[in-house]
A and B are shown apart, each in its own frame.
Chain A
Amino acid sequence: MAKPRTRVGPLASHAGPAPVLDVDALLDDRSIGIIVCCGSGGVGKTTTSAALALRAAERGRTVVVLTIDPARRLAQSMGIEELDNTPRPVAGVDDAGGGSLEAMMLDMKRTFDEVVESQASPEKARQILENPFYLAMSSSFAGTQEYMAMEKLGQVHHQGTYDLIVVDTPPSRSALDFLDAPERLSSFLDGRLIRLLLAPARGPARLMSVGVNLVTGTLARILGGQFLSDVQTFVAALDTVFGGFRARAQQTYALLQAPGTAFVVVAAPENDALREAAYFVERLSEERMPLAGLVVNRASPAALGSLSADEAMAGAARLRREPPSETAPLTAGLLRLHADRERMVEREAVLRARFAAAHPSVATAVVPALAGDVHDLVGLRQVGDLLADQDPRA
């Protein structure tokens, strides 16, 4: 994949049309083994990942899609309504090209439990899995979703069963979490708080200084004795489980930076979603993560004809003032609809142009809004077609 060039200086502000994201070229590129779809919540990330995976499979690749939280009916139609952390073949995929598609819904808790079981002795593992704090926090600990998604990605990649893995990322509170969680969690585990909490468990009180006493005393006062000891057990457990955390986080990170990975940022033509997307694009380039492009979902379909919104509204007003016929209210309605659509399209075009001006090298694919929700392979195929069928002048 070509390295994206970052343009600076006066040329950068020239708002030409964004280059087009060639989805089929991306899916056919055998050197790409991982596609990560990221973006803010509610922009159709899950649908985009599933559509990309299906299209890749029907173009002859052996694909698995790891999804986080698909809509119920979509999950059913892909045969993954059960959370069991095992990829299942998706029925109904056209395998004429020799490809196949499997899908898996990530179960965060189970992945976490599996990590515990693989890292600790059976007895220790049982203790950890029964700790009340572990039960309450293992699925909600910040970054666990992100970390577990990456953990699973690492596992599946390591198995080498598939030649393309498509990953749907968790609906993060902010774009930051996905990239930062592993680093944050591992620096925390190496940090002073952990050593402090582990100190009593590890024995000698020689670590105790005035500061430490103040802190443990304070924690005990706020938390109460039992609570503090539950927390300490939990932290000790984390320490065991994530002993090799830093090394694994670095491996995952390296995997994401490798040229076999492509990031696809997903957005909707809305201010907030595009702002998040811009932020994501910048972060990815700072971290030297390979960005394939931007997918803008739910674009308003372009209005037909050259009648402007203002002309249409003026016409509608005239028809309302002096209705020439029975059908005048209908025609006025048609004109108002047309004006509404023109205005939406115009606003979205402005938003996209601003994005393109700030990020001129980001290849973009625009997908028009569908009338209904996507909940079967037919719908996913349609989204795939729309993704691939880009007007180069748009």
Chain B
Amino acid sequence: MSDWPRVRLHVVTGKGGTGKSTVAASLALALASHGKDVLLCEVEGRQGIARMFDVDPLPYEERRIATGLRSGDQAPGVVHALHIDPEAALPEYLAMYYKLGRAGRALDRFGVTEFATTIAPGLRDVLLTGKVFEVVQRNSRNKGARQYDAVVLDAPPTGRIVQFLNVSDELSGLAKAGPIKHQADTMMTLFRSPRTAVHLVTVLEEMPVQETADGIAQLHDVGLPVGGVVVNLVRPRDLRVKDLAAARNGGLDPAAVEADLVGAGISVEAGLVEGLLSEARDHAVRRALEDGQRALVKKLDVPTYELPRLAQGVDLGSLYELAALLKDGGMA
């Protein structure tokens, strides 16, 4: 059973370098495992989805990219992807919300498109969140448009997430009245509702954990719903707890290790045992630091999910592996 049964919009954020895009993609695969149809959106123009799923760069169009994670005997759903391009989103946005056709195109000639998409990030965020709102809110009245059971948004990083999701609130304050205010308020209603969850991806290091804590506090401040924390890139746990302590203070027995190596048919060159023990010490020190950070994450008092660091890097196959872990952990 998922921890987030009511959530339609999963927003995935995280500090740069924590692997938020990988987590967003894995979450989309995991959510699609129940026979559900899922849309994975990206908004930062990096074509990260296309690279992860090894497909051609995505146009501004919903494309089928993968079958969901297979689990049990249930038929998996389908994952579609959408690369939200602000330049293409502007005319669509104007047509959609303000019923502007030709006039919208005239704006382009005056540099309005450029202004909205590259110069004023606030407006850019309005367009991006506007499109996300549209895909989540679709219903049978939108003829021909595909409806999704869940939408996963690979969102801007933690430092910008509140500004990004809250842009409509700011807009509503500036506009004071009129169609913009109305539209902005409707969007904020969805983003603040229990149908939305903002998940934060972190690694067990000081700065990302601190930023995650700050991010959660900021989300609470503006009334945006905090989801779970995904602890990514966790080191392998190849040593037992009692061995870790011994490894840290140099208490491992080199002779015993050497005997085991010989028993396992490994030719023990000079320096091998010392090398292994020194690697173990290094590992133990980092594990201790990780444990300290893990305790801090636990204090955040939100559901947490751990994903391992994969030594060989992330490919399409490993996305399914991570998806299975997220599902087992209860995130999907």
Contact = CB atoms under 8 A, between A and B. Distances in A.
Interface of A: 40-43, 69, 71-73, 132-133, 136-137, 140-143, 171, 173-174, 184-185, 188, 191-193, 196, 211, 214-215, 217-219, 221-224, 226-227, 230, 268, 270-273, 301, 303-307, 311-312, 315-316, 318-319, 324-341, 343-344, 347, 371-373, 375
A196 B264 CA distance: 79
A330 B239 contact: yes
A109 to B, nearest CB: 14
Interface in B303-329: 311-313
Given A215-B106, A371-B282, A371-B289, 13 more contacts: A42-B16, A140-B163, A188-B119, A222-B94, A304-B278, A305-B271, A307-B266, A319-B260, A319-B263, A324-B260, A330-B257, A332-B238, A337-B283
Contact of B256 (A196, A327, A344): A327
A115 B239 CA distance: 58
Contact of B275 (A184, A193, A304): A304
* Interface size classification for chain B: 35 or more
A343 B311 contact: yes
A174 B121 CA distance: 13
A42 B260 contact: no
Give me the 3 closest cross-chain CB pairs, A-B, nearest first: A42-B16, A42-B17, A41-B16
B265 interface: yes
A271 B19 CA distance: 11
B269 interface: yes
A171 B159 contact: yes
Nearest to A318: B264
Contact of A196 (B15, B110, B240, B257): B110
11 contacts: A71-B207, A132-B174, A137-B120, A137-B122, A141-B122, A211-B109, A215-B103, A304-B278, A315-B264, A327-B260, A337-B239
A224 B266 contact: no
A215 B276 contact: no
Contact of B313 (A133, A174, A271, A303): A271
B253 interface: yes
Contact of A373 (B206, B271, B313): B206
B240 A188 contact: no
A337 B275 CA distance: 11
B111 A222 contact: no
Nearest to B253: A327
Nearest to A271: B313
B263 A324 contact: yes
B112 A215 contact: yes
Contacts of A214: 103, 106
A133 B123 CA distance: 12
Interface string B163-175: 1000000100111
A192 B124 CA distance: 19
Interface in B83-112: 94, 98, 100, 103-104, 106-107, 109-112
A223 B180 contact: yes
B62 interface: no
Contacts of A43: 16-17
Contact of B112 (A193, A315, A324): A193
Interface string B286-303: 100100000000000000
- At the interface, is chain A mostly helix, strand, loop or mixed? helix
A203 B100 CA distance: 28
A226 to B, nearest CB: 6
B280 A140 contact: no
B212 interface: no
A224 B176 CA distance: 9
- At the interface, is chain B mostly helix, strand, loop or mixed? helix
B57 to A, nearest CB: 14
Contacts of B312: 343, 347
B261 interface: yes
Most chain B Cβ neighbours within 10 Å, of A133, A214, A222, A226: A222
B276 A338 contact: yes
B205 interface: yes
Contacts of A69: 159
B222 interface: no
Nearest to A188: B119
Nearest to A339: B311
Contact of A142 (B119, B178, B264): B119
A375 B238 CA distance: 29
B145 interface: no
Contacts of A306: 269
Given A324-B260, A338-B276, A227 B174 contact: yes
Contacts of B210: 71-72
A311 B312 CA distance: 17
Nearest to B100: A218
A136 B263 contact: no
A140 B119 CA distance: 10
Contact of A340 (B46, B114, B236): B236
B122 A215 contact: no
Nearest to B236: A340
A337 B238 CA distance: 7
Given A184-B118, A214-B106, A227-B180, A371 B240 contact: no
Contact of A224 (B112, B177, B206, B283): B177
B212 to A, nearest CB: 13
B178 A224 contact: yes
B50 interface: no
Nearest to B242: A330
B278 A171 contact: no
Contacts of A329: 240
A146 to B, nearest CB: 12
Nearest to B176: A226
B110 A333 contact: no
B217 interface: no
Nearest to A143: B119
Contacts of A316: 264
Nearest to B278: A304
A327 B45 CA distance: 52
A372 B45 CA distance: 33
Contacts of B289: 371-372
B134 interface: no
B287 to A, nearest CB: 10
A373 B205 contact: yes
Nearest to A226: B176
Contact of B174 (A136, A193, A312, A375): A136
